[in-house]
Structure 1
Amino acid sequence: HPYTRGLLACRPGRTQPRKLPTVDDFLRGELPPGTQELVSDESRRQHLEKLMAGPPLLRVKGLAKDFPAAGGARTPVLHDLTFEVFPGESLGIVGGSGSGKTTLGRSILRLVEPGAGEVVYRGTDLRQLDDRGMRAMRRELQLIFQDPYSSLNPRLTVGGAITEAMAVHGIGSHARERRERAMALLDRVGLEAAHFDRFPHQFSGGQRQRIVIARTLALEPRLIVCDESIAALDVSVQAQVLNLLNDLKEEHGLTYLFISHDLNVVRYMCDRILVLEQGHIAELGPSDDLYEHPQAEYTRRLLSAVPGTA
């Protein structure tokens, strides 16, 4: 059945199509050209070399974080992490449960305060900014959460959620301009301008994540942390959201930190992969190299759990 074939084909695998096929493509009986065009390993390598030719957008040095534990003790979560992220890059962050992936993403954004180290974004150490300076910077640094059902205020319309974020950051000279921009963004993420006045409960999970993406884009960010941003979605719509994220990255010159437990998705989406093992960097390298020739035993164990790689 076309639906079954679509479910099987829409998951990222060993090949690297320019665009993932979706279930809807199979139901229509027509695959878009990009889904049948494979990106070669050499092309991906050259793209990464070009990305890394200039100065980094983000430089993390000696980042550490611990949390309070019973009896006044402290539990270390991140240990002396050092790495760079380049403009236009997608850096994947993978690791088992409790490895520190989400804490790393939130520490970079200062949603949790690091205990030590530097987080230098465009030449500014974010840890040295006061509250006012950090608020001004947050427009460029955004987070797409895992759960689209809790990411939106149920009392705000979709349009209200987008325009409120714009107003808070001083985007748009008047309400009409913000409304027009919000409608244009809804259209760009595959929704309709008519959805502007509807409430979150009237949308599916995939549609809500598109709304969250539209709200994020409204702030014109440069760096977006995607924290398991498709994990809560049905498999049938995951490919649609991944394609959208890739398209928007190209259109807006975005840089992604892509946190996920799904190594096939990370390989498809990311230029390089950082492997976290209990808060330490076990390995960091180009996605294809790490996938095909892992150096760390921990990485090999993670890959052994991926169908088709054992």
Structure 2
Amino acid sequence: MITDSNPDFVDSAMNQLADYFDDLARGKVQVPRQPVTTRIREQIQDQEVLAYHDLLVAQTGPLFAHFLASVPGILEELSHVGVTLARYTHERRKQDDRAFTLWEIDAFDGSSGRALAKYAKGAIRTLTNSPNKANQIHFDAHADKELCAFHSGSFLQVSREIVAQALDSQGLFRGVDYLYEMAAFQFYGRNRDEHLRGVSSFLREDGLAFFLEKLNQPEIDEYHRRERVKDEQHKSHYFSEEEIAWKKNAMLSQMKNGQILFSDFVEAASRYFSHVYLIWNGTNFYEFVASNNERSITQFIELLGQPIIPNGFCFEHPVVRVLSQPAAGC
């Protein structure tokens, strides 16, 4: 088992499930029975999103492939956001010609970060941390070490010195340009205030923070209805009924213990970010972007447009919308 001096990590589901995650990362259990690729390719009009998708799926490690097979629509969304971040960064570099930086929080073997760094052609350097050491095997096998770095350890162990050194920051470290939490917080309990306070301190003043969260619903029947949609219309393409049931018993109850409500997440995020947007939904999964700089987040949202979500998985209307912003005159 992974151990750490931080009591929040020792008691976390991430630590308690360490052996299970190790088996997933080594491809010993819960391996998708077919490659995970988009099933709506003909509906994606942006050829750059398709190119990014192909880059992303070409070098995924076992745990990231399992993740894509478990979350409906997330492959299309990561491709969409990746292209938008690259475009946004290239626009920013017209006034600020430097390498921008992204820290992926507990993001498996860095499949997403590696794809972004490669697609952006060096405009974005990425750091991925993971508490599961087996993920580094697949990171090392595929990463361009000039553009990507890996830290073996929970995000609770990551310091500003670790991030600055990994991203080769010269001079005074002002923080990263982008954060992306890859559905990690739910494995460390319900205290989103503490989680958000910690990671927000790593972000530059004009940076963007992305949070992928699996959330509870006010009505338990609605939560289970969306879970059935996920299992029957997405996961069934990649796993047997027995595998889906086994994962529910072995893992999902632990995850649910760390999930919170949509309103609770927005309330916590609003304490650390003056602007919070919802940008995607897939059954009980949600993606948010937040910033303390209105110009930065407005420019990103304008470039982003509407998400690409396969039919049947979106339960939010409208999807892209502002959830929190300063009151007029503030």
- TM-score, normalized by length of structure 1? 0.33
Rg bigger for which structure? 1
Query: Which has the higher relative contact order, 1 or 2, with Cα contacts under 8 A spaced 6 or more apart?
Result: 1
- TM-score, normalized by length of structure 2? 0.32
